[in-house]
Chain A
Amino acid sequence: MIYILQETVKGFFKNKSMNLITIGIITISIFIFGLFIAGTANLLNVIQIAEDRIEMIVYLNDNLDSNGIKLLNEQISTILGVQQTEFVSKEQSLENFKKEMSENSPLLSAFESNPLPASIKVTVSMAYKTPDYLKEISEKLKLFEGVEDVDYGSEWIDDLDRLIKILFLIDIILGIIITLSSVFVVFNTIRLTVYARSEQIDIMDLVGATETYIEFPYIIEGIVHGFLGAIISTVILYSLFSFIATKIPNVIFLNSSLIFFLVLFGIILGFTGSFMSVKQCMNELREIKRLEPVGKRKSLSRSVKGK
């Protein structure tokens, strides 16, 4: 065990440039991966904010009395997907309208009486904020007596829905590409560090070191590379997002579980990369040794020709 630790530490300081390159490449790979994860998290956040704003306004008939409104309100509450309802009177609507427009708008003074209808604001549960459900709910609402019209910005929601779907598709494709390419790049870099010491692996194999003993220093080194790469890239990502957050509001950075995931991703990358590389290296060395006589045969044929 002491040997393994010694070897790991030695390996780290002996091949400084190789180690720095490996850690650097893992850092870059995880940085890009983290950027992508953070981007996705922010995309989800924006979608959440947009979906939060979706609400349904049920415009009421002017001659509906307070009992009718109460009954209607209760009926609406029983519809699947309706989370909350809020009655907005004619006067309230006018107030709101005045607030949105400027007080002395000439538009308002054109009316002698209040032209705005009373309404019920319906909040739909998150899970039902899809174009299909919203349409279904609005159809049901329209059937109630005293309902003049229902508005939920249907065109806008269709557009948003399409946008979300496209963004998700791009995000998934990008995610697959980034994950695969970082795995590929990291594996190949680790492979180089392992192959740089193939001579050592060869001798260990020859003097009767068990496979575990041969593999261990490389695997530990791979894990340390992955861990350091992940930590460095997380720090860079954190600084970057802190900076962006000062410029753009509502930007969210990776939460603690995502940071944990990134570090774990780095460790897993380092572990599997080194494990597979050292196995592959040993197999290739053995394969070369098994085929060596072919080379000798060639030299034999050369010497025969020489004669």
Chain B
Amino acid sequence: MIIFKNVYKYYKKDWVALNNLNLSIEKGQFNYLIGRSGAGKSTLMKMIYMEIFPTEGEVEVAGFSTKTIKQNEIPLMRRKIGVIFQDFKLLKDRNVYDNVAFALQVTGEKYSYIRKKTLAALAAVKMSHKRNSFPYQISGGEQQKVAIARAIIKEPFILLADEPTGNIDPEGTKEILELLFEINTRGTAVLMATHDYSLIKKSFGKVIGLRDGKTVKPDDIFKMEFGGQS
């Protein structure tokens, strides 16, 4: 479903973000993406939703290739992907319902369809009771749930989560993780970038280690972090 083929990304001549990266993410898989800041995690994520393009090599996402995709095809490709961020990216001037419905409104869906899907997505993240609240009235964990509802409303084949629990308390983190697993069991692949390696031990899924823009064995990263080597 997602394939990285010999991907290089240079931000400047002397700085390589991705260095000959080869990677594939299968349908329905749960994947952790681990590595230190600057290892290339965000670059990898952005390349999947084609915010940035490889300097060399090719990324294939749901049949679209970074080599051949046209500017006007990018929105269509993004409708097949859900993305959530550390800072939630909710619209502060809209309530929970409108924030979730927004994803369908801006793609021109019918009102009745939007209503049905929005209520279903809110139920899936257990936020139906707060649908009239505004983002500033709910906790960080709840805001992230709203962001997840917005991301899954279009039934994407993959959910990209860039440090989704970075701003959330432990209780909220647990809920978010459970929610991600639940979404995964319904068939949506998940790619979660994280710093918090303790999250990984507790659960299942494939672990992708990233260092200096290359995939490495996850154990190498654990060793580096916990073995005192820097």
Contact = CB atoms under 8 A, between A and B. Distances in A.
Contacts of B51: 286, 289-290
A208 B76 contact: yes
Nearest to A199: B91
B78 A208 contact: yes
A112 interface: no
Given A206-B78, A213-B107, A300-B36, A293 B17 contact: yes
B11 A291 contact: yes
Given A2-B111, A214-B106, A206 B83 contact: yes
Most chain B CB atoms below 10 A, which of A203, A214, A307: A203
Contact of A206 (B11, B49, B92, B105): B49
Contact of A3 (B72, B106, B150): B106
Nearest to B151: A207
B89 A210 contact: no
A210 B72 contact: yes
A18 B75 CA distance: 30
B103 to A, nearest CB: 4
B106 A293 contact: no
- Which of A2, A202, A206, A214 has the most chain B CB within a 10 Å cutoff? A206
A199 to B, nearest CB: 7
B38 A207 contact: no
A200 B111 CA distance: 20
B106 A207 contact: yes
B63 to A, nearest CB: 15
B35 to A, nearest CB: 12
Contacts of B49: 206
Given A203-B102, A289-B46, A293-B17, A208 B37 contact: no
A14 B79 CA distance: 28
B65 to A, nearest CB: 18
B230 interface: yes
Interface string B56-98: 0000000000000001100111110001000001011100000
A213 B106 CA distance: 7
A294 interface: yes
A207 B43 CA distance: 18
Interface residues of B, number: 34
B91 A200 contact: yes
A296 B38 contact: yes
B11 A207 contact: no
Nearest to B82: A207
Contacts of B227: none
B6 interface: no
A56 to B, nearest CB: 69
Contacts of B226: none
A172 B46 CA distance: 51
A12 to B, nearest CB: 13
Q: Which of A208, A213, A303 has the most CB of B within 10 A?
A: A208
Nearest to B81: A208
Interface in A138-167: none
A299 interface: yes
Contacts of A205: 75
A130 B216 CA distance: 87
A176 interface: no
Interface string B20-47: 0000000000000000111000110010
A292 B107 contact: no
Contacts of B111: 2
Nearest to A204: B106
A214 B72 CA distance: 13
Contact of B52 (A213, A214, A290): A290
Contacts of B78: 206-208
B42 A296 contact: yes
A210 B42 contact: no
A296 B37 contact: yes
Contacts of B103: 207-208
B72 to A, nearest CB: 7
Given A207-B103, A208-B75, A14 B42 contact: no
Contacts of A1: 108
A47 B17 CA distance: 70
Interface of B: 11, 15, 17, 36-38, 42-43, 46, 49, 51-52, 71-72, 75-79, 83, 89, 91-93, 102-103, 105-108, 111, 150, 154, 230
Which 3 A-B pairs give the minimum distances between C-beta atoms? A209-B106, A208-B78, A208-B79
19 contacts: A2-B111, A202-B89, A203-B89, A203-B91, A204-B102, A206-B49, A206-B78, A206-B83, A207-B79, A208-B75, A209-B107, A210-B72, A213-B108, A289-B51, A289-B52, A293-B42, A293-B43, A294-B11, A297-B38
